[in-house]
Structure 1
Amino acid sequence: MLNNRALVIIAVLAVAAWIANSSMYIVNETQRAIKLRFGEVVQADIQPGLHFKWPLLNTVRTFDGRVMSLDASASRYLTKDKKAVIVDSYVKWKIIDPQSYYEATSGDEQMAERLIAPRVDERLRNEFGKLELSDIVADRSVAAAQQKKEAKPETEEATKEETMDKPTNDLDAAMRNELGVAILDIRVKRIDLPSEVSQAVYERMRSERHREAQRYRAEGRQEAEEIKAKADQQSKALLADAREKSETIRGQGDAQAATIYANAYTQNEDFFRFYRSLESYRDSFGKQSNNMLVLSPDSKFFQYFNGANGEQPSAP
């Protein structure tokens, strides 16, 4: 009798534990959840925390609420000028409406990605169809130059990573209504040119750069000639002005010297002659003079070599 009662108590406790375990569930911070009753959604977007449900009557489905990435395979698109490019891209998406997401995909993440991928491909195809190949190549060149300048190139080939605003916004609006997910970003990881296009593009780029270089050189030569002509004109004007000023100063100096010499001559004629002869001796026999004079010893040029008054010295 006692053993039967103990078994009943144990059974009751086990049932109570099962009911308690089946009645409680936890939604983590990184999850989104919905409550179902026989497959029908009765509570959508359950907040994180501890919650209760009816055992056997309710089921709970949880989904990853974090930002997820869809790495699309590289696709071949045609540009506006009918040139092919190979684009490698990925998508950032997130569940925002668990009920719509469950109804559209049955909570299967792979099914959601299969529904998102072709729509991303369509948007990118339309976007690249609006671009010229030259614009895309120019963007690649800028990206490669920036990577080289920052010294952080990840691959040998140039890569382009930019936010495609219009495709992202268009696809986000569509996916919110259809799948209950938000498209946060569409990014282009890499753009390559097919082998049949690359050589022609590079040749055209080379010729365009060559033409630009020639134009810059021609403009530089023209500007250099203009600067040189302007400098020569200024130089000639400055030299002419300097010569004019020097001639004026020299004339004033000569006039002043003539006045001084005239005054000296009127005050002492003999001293003036003597002083002028000494200057002549200095200029003729100085260290810097290479002149050669052939004169008679009794020439007037040497008269002051004979005596202070220019007379021959008397014999002893």
Structure 2
Amino acid sequence: MRDKMSLLGGALLLAIVIASMSLFTVDQRQYAVVFQLGEVKEVIDEPGLKFKLPLIQNVRFFERRILTLDTPDPERFITSEKMNLLVDHFVKWRIIDPRLYYESVAGDEARARTRLTQTVNAGLREEFGRRTMHEVVSGAREAIMDSMREKADRDARRIGVQIVDVRLKRVELLPEVSESVYRRMEAERKRVANELRSEGAAAAEKIRADADRQREIIIAEAYRAAQEAKGEGDAKAIAIYADAFGRNADFYSFYRSLEAYRASFAGKDDMLVVDPSSDFFKFMKDSGGARN
């Protein structure tokens, strides 16, 4: 009885060992590649509990999530105008064909990263070599990244990898040339600013000259209108005086004499030497004679 129990226990233990060697779990974030005697037998991309032949087959797991290839240090690239630039970039990639990935780089992520780094760097050198510094820094960055993604993806698919994105994090000049470039840019900005100031000053002078001209025209027209109004008023006044005084010539003569007297004796110290028989005193003489 004891022997049977030992035999049963051994069989159970053997079954457990065989089951542990035959069953494996595939995570949803991984690919499972089943090898049989060193050759790829099956690629499993569905998660769950799977079965393999013990001792004959073995399993390797590969990442199916998006991975990042980030350069530790900026790379130096040369533009079409022979300007050296420091470029910091990163690449997003993932495995899409585990079988081809294993056959191309033996499933070694380090080898795959090396291959992708070489591909991306070669493409960037080509792109930078066809463009000026201004295009690289500001104008054509999106175009460079799109072109690089397409070129790198075509090469990466040969090893079972897809390039999801290529991004330029930083593009800058070398420290030894940055200062001279900044000085040149500053001088250019100052030149443009001076031109704008000159144009503004010329426009201001033109506006002031036009304003002065319009002011003189307005003043002249106003003076002319005032003189015309004054002349019309004087003419009307003269006509009114002439009509009023023309109706009684003696009264008009008397009124004019009174005005002359008032103007002649305006002050207490005024002195006038005139012949008493002068017509200037005729109304005074007439007045005195009338009283006598």
Alpha-carbon separation, structure 2, partners of 1:25 and 1:170: 38
Alpha-carbon separation, structure 2, partners of 1:195 and 1:24: 59
2:25–2:49 Cα contact (<8 Å) kept:
yes
Alpha-carbon separation, structure 1, partners of 2:237 and 2:129: 91
Alpha-carbon separation, structure 1, partners of 2:244 and 2:4: 157
Relative to structure 1, the CA distance from residue 51 to residue 243 in structure 2 (aligned partners, 3 Å threshold; closer, same or farther) is farther
Matched, 1:33 2:32: yes
1:161–1:190 Cα contact (<8 Å) kept:
no
1:45–1:99 Cα contact (<8 Å) kept:
no
Q: Which residue of 2 aligns with 1:289?
A: none
Q: Which residue of 2 aligns with 1:189?
A: 169
Relative to structure 1, the CA distance from residue 18 to residue 252 in structure 2 (aligned partners, 3 Å threshold; closer, same or farther) is farther
Aligned residue type for 1:126: E
Alpha-carbon separation, structure 1, partners of 2:9 and 2:244: 149
**1:245 Cα deviation from its structure 2 partner:** 3.6
Q: Which residue of 1 aligns with 2:200?
A: 220
Relative to structure 1, the CA distance from residue 174 to residue 136 in structure 2 (aligned partners, 3 Å threshold; closer, same or farther) is closer
> Sequence identity of aligned pairs in percent?
37
**1:115 Cα deviation from its structure 2 partner:** 1.3
Q: What is the TM-score with the length of structure 2 in the denominator?
A: 0.74
1:83–1:197 Cα contact (<8 Å) kept:
no
1:23–1:53 Cα contact (<8 Å) kept:
yes
Relative to structure 1, the CA distance from residue 195 to residue 241 in structure 2 (aligned partners, 3 Å threshold; closer, same or farther) is same
Alpha-carbon separation, structure 2, partners of 1:197 and 1:215: 27
Alpha-carbon separation, structure 1, partners of 2:147 and 2:108: 28
Relative to structure 1, the CA distance from residue 262 to residue 188 in structure 2 (aligned partners, 3 Å threshold; closer, same or farther) is same
Q: CA deviation digits over 1:135-154, x for unaligned, max 9?
A: 446x3xx9xxxxxxxxxxxx
2:32–2:43 Cα contact (<8 Å) kept:
yes
SS at 2:28 equivalent: coil
Please list, as runs of the form range in 1=range in 2, the aligned pairs for 1:53-72 lying within 5 A after superposition. 53-72=52-71
SS at 2:58 equivalent: strand
**1:258 Cα deviation from its structure 2 partner:** 5.7
**1:70 Cα deviation from its structure 2 partner:** 1.2
Q: What is the TM-score with the length of structure 1 in the denominator?
A: 0.69
Alpha-carbon separation, structure 1, partners of 2:268 and 2:96: 121
Q: CA deviation digits over 1:3-40, x for unaligned, max 9?
A: 22222222222233333333332222222232222222
Please list, as runs of the form range in 1=range in 2, the aligned pairs for 1:1-316 lying within 5 A after superposition. 1=1, 3-72=2-71, 73-136=73-136, 139=138, 164-176=145-157, 178-254=158-234, 294=267
Alpha-carbon separation, structure 2, partners of 1:166 and 1:26: 40
Aligned residue type for 2:6: L
1:45–1:98 Cα contact (<8 Å) kept:
no
**1:116 Cα deviation from its structure 2 partner:** 1.1
Larger radius of gyration: 2
**1:54 Cα deviation from its structure 2 partner:** 2.7
1:45–1:97 Cα contact (<8 Å) kept:
no
Alpha-carbon separation, structure 1, partners of 2:209 and 2:60: 85
Alpha-carbon separation, structure 1, partners of 2:213 and 2:247: 51
**1:118 Cα deviation from its structure 2 partner:** 1.4
Relative to structure 1, the CA distance from residue 24 to residue 193 in structure 2 (aligned partners, 3 Å threshold; closer, same or farther) is same
Relative to structure 1, the CA distance from residue 37 to residue 256 in structure 2 (aligned partners, 3 Å threshold; closer, same or farther) is farther
1:120–1:171 Cα contact (<8 Å) kept:
yes
Alpha-carbon separation, structure 1, partners of 2:190 and 2:93: 45
**1:187 Cα deviation from its structure 2 partner:** 1.9
**1:122 Cα deviation from its structure 2 partner:** 0.9
Compare 117-126 and 67-76 and name the one that shifted more.
67-76
Relative to structure 1, the CA distance from residue 255 to residue 190 in structure 2 (aligned partners, 3 Å threshold; closer, same or farther) is same
Aligned residue type for 1:39: G
Aligned residue type for 1:101: Y
Relative to structure 1, the CA distance from residue 294 to residue 112 in structure 2 (aligned partners, 3 Å threshold; closer, same or farther) is same
Aligned residue type for 1:97: D
1:71–1:91 Cα contact (<8 Å) kept:
yes
SS at 1:69 equivalent: strand
SS at 2:60 equivalent: strand
**1:85 Cα deviation from its structure 2 partner:** 1.8
Q: Which residue of 2 aligns with 1:146?
A: none
Relative to structure 1, the CA distance from residue 225 to residue 12 in structure 2 (aligned partners, 3 Å threshold; closer, same or farther) is same
Q: CA deviation digits over 1:241-270, x for unaligned, max 9?
A: 333443444445555666676787799979
